[in-house]
Each structure stands twice: as C-alpha cells, then as structure tokens.
Amino acid sequence: MTQSGSKKKLVGTVVSNKMDKTALVLVERLAKHPTYKKYIRKRKKYMAHDPKNLCGIGDKVRIIESRPLSKRKRWQVLEILEKADTEL
C-alpha cells in the first residue's frame, strides 16, 4: 500500500511534441526475464502535460503522476533534466 500524497515519478525521453501542451515521453526500464534470468529493456510511452510547450524532441524529462487531464493523459512534465543537441 502506498502512502497518500506520494506520486510516481519517471524519467524518459521526449519522442514527440506535435500536440498542443502535450509531450509523448518514452520511458525505458530493465526487467529480468522470469525463466532465462536475462535483463530485457522494456519501453512504454506516456502522454505528459506540458503547459508551456517547453519540451523538444530528444529532451530528457522527469514526469509525475497526476489526475486524469484527458482520455490518455495522466502525467505532467515536472522538469527538463537535459536539453537535446539540436545542432545540425
């Protein structure tokens, strides 16, 4: 049982920011295979609320759990940890 008021926080990479005030964040984690005991990289995408549209593709961000904001949006961008290199 979790304490009331404690919200999950995840770190991931922004893969899309084409929506208004929303960023699509890819979170990777390592999970051990139950039979083969090998570590497998698991991925999941989360839609996160970005009210000021500050996130860019490739940015490393921390997201936090929140109340439902839309049909698929249950996370908010807490902070941008690292900006992507956009020099081309």
65 closest CA partner among 6, 22, 7: 7
Q: How far apart are CA 61 and CA 29, in angstroms?
A: 15
CA distances in angstroms from 79 to 3, 6, 39, listed in the order given: 23, 17, 29
Structure confidence by residue, pLDDT tens digits, 15-32: 999 999 999 999 999 999
Compute the mean pLDDT over every residue in the chain, rounded to the nearest whole number: 93
Percentage of residues of the chain with pLDDT beyond 90: 88
This prediction has a pTM of 0.87
pLDDT level of residue 86 (50, 70, 90 thresholds): confident
Average pLDDT in the 49-68 region?
96
pLDDT for 88 equals: 57
